[in-house]
């Protein structure tokens, strides 16, 4: 289930060429079963017809403060009361200026002024207009009022100029919306998460690896960010795109991962090692492709460093260390053994034999084991599983008094 399911989103569309992209956003929201109502300014209608938004949202589009009986009496009050969040996208320099002055000169402005729900602005405009001190002052005023801002993207704009001013990507705006519905209990915390498999090269074309898709680790990274953490994600080779608003470091081998993890470990308060690191690597990587022979091939393997164990031996005072365990039997016993052996605070044990759990699926069913006991979680999406892991981490941080600065 998406966390946007059932959420009432009021989308304010203003007069920018990027208005057509907002139509795509409506499609994405509806796909996640959010309930979308669109309010358009007069100039937005010059770029996209209201019919487009009503067809995509399945709801009437509101445009006029003084509409006839076919629209609603006191539309501005009702619309602001019926939304869980207001998203203004694209937000033009003109709309940003009007709202920064508290002007209530059209339906969208009055809805926003009357609202008691979070408002998110996604600006889109020419880069000089964005950089103008007046716009920057107006943006500061909006933020001072408690409104949220998704910074515009950089790139080539519709006018041909290059710079800041493009409507942000949907994924970035979506993460901002999702964060509004999550607790902000990881604010001020730096977390390091590892994800995906590692690849251990055998020759120029072959490697040893495993079936990890990175989905569990990426879900941990996104959910931590939504809860306010500053996230560093170190991932082995996966086909997932970089999650927004965090540092993403891509590595290949266990040795690369070890170097990156150890270089960042002392700066963070929480480490979660969900990566499926190869335990062994070929003793030598051949420079040339290994030729087929009539006999079989005997591979000499050597052990990789156990990164998690090394972290457990070297961790700083107060740091929370979370490991994963991929097990096919004696889950509780193996989990407890790894918790103690690697000096962890929490271990997340996956059952890798289930068809809906573990490697390369959308869901997971895990057991959380800490030093006080264990909890078996139901089958959940990987994002919901990640949130349950963060709940446990937050409670461990509280018990520790958050002194891992
Ligand atoms: O990526 P997905 O497709 O979403 O699948 C998720 C997952 C099944 C890969 C993930 O949830 C998971 O179980 N990750 C750990 C897999 C694993 O390597 O388990 P393990 O029991 O072999 O290792 C135990 C712990 O030691 C893990 O935290 C692992 O990161 C760590 N380890 C292992 C070997 C090594 N050389 N260095 C390590 O740090």
pLDDT of the chain, 405 residues: tens digit per residue: 668 999 999 999 999 999 999 999 999 999 999 999 999 999 999 999 999 999 999 999 999 887 654 456 567 688 888 999 999 999 999 999 999 999 999 999 999 999 999 999 999 999 999 999 999 999 999 999 999 999 999 988 777 888 899 999 999 999 999 999 999 999 999 999 999 999 999 999 999 999 999 999 999 999 999 999 999 999 999 999 999 999 999 999 999 999 999 999 999 999 999 999 999 999 999 999 998 887 888 999 999 999 999 999 999 999 999 999 999 899 999 999 999 999 999 999 998 888 999 999 999 999 999 999 999 999 999 999 999 999 999 999 999 874 444
Contact 149, 121 (CB under 8 A): yes
Task: Find out whether the beta carbon of 215 lies less than 6 Å from any atom of ligand 1.
Answer: yes
SS3 128: helix
Rounded CA gap, 322 and 379, in Å? Answer: 20
Pocket probe mutation, ligand 1, options 261, 301, 314, 325, max atoms within 8 Å of Cβ: 325
Question: CATH fold of 8-180, please?
Answer: Rossmann fold (3.40.50)
Question: CATH fold of 190-287+301-399, please?
Answer: Rossmann fold (3.40.50)
Contact 153, 192 (CB under 8 A): no
SS3 134: helix
Among positive and negative, which fits the CA dihedral 337, 322, 261, 362?
positive
Rounded CA gap, 123 and 112, in Å? Answer: 16
**Active-site residues: which are they?**
159
Residues of the chain with CATH 3.40.50.10300: 190-287+301-399
Residues of the chain with CATH 3.40.50.1950: 8-180
**Taking the CB of residue 50, how many other CB atoms lie within 10 A of it?**
16
Of ligand 1's listed atoms, the one at least distance from the Cα of 311 is 39
Q: How far is CA 390 from CA 22, 85, 112, in A?
A: 32, 25, 33
* 326 CA from centroid of ligand 1 (Å): 6
Of ligand 1's listed atoms, the one at least distance from the Cα of 194 is 30
Of ligand 1's listed atoms, the one at least distance from the Cα of 214 is 1
Beta strands (DSSP E) in 150-254 are 153-156, 162-166, 190-195, 200-201, 207-208, 230-235, 247-250
Task: Find out whether the beta carbon of 349 lies less than 6 Å from any atom of ligand 1.
Answer: no
């Amino acid at each position: 289930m998406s966390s946007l399911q059932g959420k009432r989103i009021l989308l304010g569309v203003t007069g920018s060429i990027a208005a057509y992209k907002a139509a795509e956003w409506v499609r994405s929201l509806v796909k996640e079963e959010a309930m979308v109502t669109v309010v358009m300014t007069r100039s937005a209608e010059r770029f996209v017809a209201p019919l487009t938004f009503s067809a995509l949202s399945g709801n009437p589009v509101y445009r006029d403060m003084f509409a006839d009986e076919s629209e609603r009496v006191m539309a501005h009050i009702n619309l602001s009361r019926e939304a869980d969040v207001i998203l203004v996208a694209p937000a033009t320099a003109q709309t940003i200026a009007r709202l920064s002055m508290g002007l209530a000169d059209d339906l969208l402005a009055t809805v926003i002024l009357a609202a008691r729900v979070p408002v998110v602005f996604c600006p889109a405009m020419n880069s000089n207009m964005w950089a103008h001190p007046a716009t920057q002052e107006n943006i500061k005023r909006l933020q001072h009022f408690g409104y949220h801002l998704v910074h515009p993207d950089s790139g080539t704009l519709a006018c041909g100029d290059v710079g800041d001013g493009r409507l942000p990507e949907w994924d970035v705006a979506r993460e901002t919306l999702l964060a509004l519905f999550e607790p902000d209990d990881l604010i001020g915390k730096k977390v390091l998460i590892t994800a995906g498999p590692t690849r251990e090269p055998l020759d120029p074309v072959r490697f040893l690896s495993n079936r990890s898709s990175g989905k569990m680790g990426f879900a941990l990274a996104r959910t931590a960010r939504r809860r306010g953490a500053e996230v560093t994600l170190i991932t082995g080779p996966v086909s997932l795109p970089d999650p927004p608003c965090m540092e993403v470091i891509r590595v290949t081998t266990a040795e690369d991962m070890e170097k990156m993890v150890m270089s960042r470990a002392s700066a963070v308060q929480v480490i979660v090692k969900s990566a499926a690191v190869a335990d062994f690597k070929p003793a030598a990587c051949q420079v040339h492709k290994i030729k087929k022979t009539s006999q079989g091939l005997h591979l000499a393997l050597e052990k990789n460093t156990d990164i998690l164990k090394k972290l457990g031996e070297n961790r700083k005072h107060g740091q929370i260390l979370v490991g994963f365990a991929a097990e096919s039997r004696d889950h509780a016993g193996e989990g407890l053994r790894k918790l103690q052996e690697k000096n962890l605070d929490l271990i997340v044990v996956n059952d890798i034999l289930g068809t809906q759990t573990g490697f390369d699926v959308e869901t997971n069913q895990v057991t959380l084991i800490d030093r006080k006991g264990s909890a078996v979680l139901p089958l959940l999406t990987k994002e919901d599983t990640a949130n349950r892991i963060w709940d446990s981490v937050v409670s461990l941080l509280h018990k520790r008094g958050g002194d891992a600065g």
